[in-house]
Each structure stands twice: as C-alpha cells, then as structure tokens.
Amino acid sequence: MKTTQRIITVLITMVIAIFFITGNSFAQAKKAWDIPAAAKSVKSPVNLKDAGVVNNGKDLWAKHCKSCHGGKGLGDGPKAASLKTNPGDFTAAAFQGQSDGDIFFETSKGRDEMPSYEKKIPEANDRWALVAYMRTLKK
C-alpha cells in the first residue's frame, strides 16, 4: 500500500508542478505591451513584401532572434528554456494580428529579457526587414 501512496504523491506533485509551470508561462505570454498610439500606426518605409527585404530580415533573424524565438518563430529557440519571459509564438493569430507598427516598436524597444534592437540593429530599415520576415512566420 505504501508504494501506491508514493505513486499517488509523485503524480500529484507532478500535476501541481505542471500547473504552476504552465500557468506561469501563460501569464507571461499574456502580458500586454505598452505601445504608444502613434507607434501603432507607423508605416514601413520599405516594401515588406519585397523578396530582398524579406531575405535581409531572415538573415537578421538568424543572427539576432533565432536563439530565443526559434527558426520558425515558435518561441522554441535553444535559449528559450532558460528565459523567465516566454518568447511567444510569432505564428499565432494574436501576434500576426498586430499592426506593422506594433511589431516594429516591440522589436526596436524590447522589454524584460529581450534587448532593445535600436543599438544592435541601428538602421531602421533593417528592423523593418525583420518585421517583413516575421510576417512570413505563419502556421
């Protein structure tokens, strides 16, 4: 009977741990960005559908974003597990439903563990190229 009690205790402990881990990730994913109204309506100075712009964004993604956000934008990069902040799923409708200005602002400013890319990628057109590439990350 003690073996059964141990198994039940272990299972209950695992369920509680999964609940807290999942709940914490869910709460982090839900944290809203504070984006100024003016930033939401900013339009790209580059054609976000131009293949050259998208390819530039893909190269920048591989260098600056892939380690946390993953190769396909699922938030499963090799550094993701060590982060306190959920890197998010960029293929999700919630992310893709944002304005281009929202995504540009988030990429430029960063927050929590995500650095600001205004200094790492100083050319605004390059950060817009990242937006163009992120628009290709769909399920």
Domain boundaries along the sequence of the chain:
1-30, 32-134
pLDDT tens for each residue of 89-135: 999 999 999 999 999 999 999 999 999 999 999 999 999 999 999 99
Sign, CA torsion 19/80/110/138: negative
Per the DSSP assignment, residues forming a β-bridge with 114 are: 111
Please list, in sequence order, all residues whose beta carbon lies within 8 angstroms of the beta carbon of residue 117, skipping any fewer than 6 positions away.
64, 107, 108, 110, 127, 130
Q: Which CATH superfamily is domain 32-134 in?
A: Cytochrome c-like domain (1.10.760.10)
pLDDT tens for each residue of 33-65: 999 999 999 999 999 999 999 999 999 999 999
